[in-house]
Amino acid sequence: MEVSAEPEKKEISTKTGNEASIETQVDKDISGQSTDLSNNSENKAGVSANRLKLFDKVMEKSLQRVIADASFHRFAKTFHPFYKQKPQLTEDIHRQFVSELQTAVQDDIRQIMEEGNLQSKLEELDRLEEENRDSTEPAWRPSGVPEQDLCSFVMPYYLKQREFLRRELKRQQKENAALAQRVQAGRDTIAQTEQRIASGVEEWRASTSTLNTLSSLAPMQNFDTM
């Protein structure tokens, strides 16, 4: 006598109350998330949204959605023959699978945040938004031409560098002029010293010539003849 498989199909296709409540809650969370994002975009003049908390919330809701998609109903339907033989073991395996999946996804998100230093960057974006909240100047927007956008971004930097180099050149030229003056003053001092030395040598030579002339007169002989 054959046993109809219809009750088994009904058992597999019917979701438990917990699974239905989980998916319903996830749908509400996702809907609330979309509402929060739309309200945040509409109320730009309001309090600045903490991007780090928003990122954590979005990741949490996305993880809940993934967990809801990996429901026990789908798991049992995929492994239907095994579920027919050992339903309790199948439920235990699914529970462990969901736990390890959740842990792995959380670890990946944490690793991405650490490698990309997302926390400090998101906090920096919050700080910049708060500082420029009351600014009346129009925000920069890309023109659609990459060359112009690159020039508009890089040109101010190059202009600052050119102004810095001009100041450095003037300062260096001023220092070089001062050094040239000191060198010229040293050369003048050396030339004056050489001139004094040359004059001293000439005087010494004149004195030596006078002494030689006097000694050539032979005074002892002149005294003997007297």
pLDDT in tens, 49-86: 588 888 888 988 998 898 888 888 888 888 888 888 88
Q: What is the mean pLDDT of the chain?
A: 76
Nearest CA-CA partner of 109 in 57, 161, 159, 148: 57
Global pTM value: 0.39
**Which residues have CB under 8 Å from 170's CB, separation 6+?**
none
| Radius of gyration, alpha carbons of the chain | 48
Cβ neighbors of 58 (< 8 A, separation 6 or more) are: 33
| Whether pLDDT at 29 is above 60 | no
pLDDT in tens, 105-117: 889 988 988 888 8
Q: Domain ranges in the chain? A: 6-131, 155-208
Give the pLDDT confidence score for residue 183 in this predicted structure. Answer: 94
Whole-angstrom distance, CA of residue 192 vs CA of residue 31: 95
Ordered DSSP codes for 28-84: HHHHHHHHHHHHHHH-TTSSPP-HHHHHHHHHHHHHHHHHHHT-HHHHHHHTHHHHH
Q: Is pLDDT above 80 for 197?
A: yes
User: What is the reported pLDDT for 217?
Assistant: 64
Query: Is residue 170 scored above 90 in pLDDT?
Result: yes
CA 21/CA 71 separation, integer angstroms: 12
Looking at residue 165, its pLDDT comes to: 95
DSSP state of 3: P
Residue 97: pLDDT over 60: yes
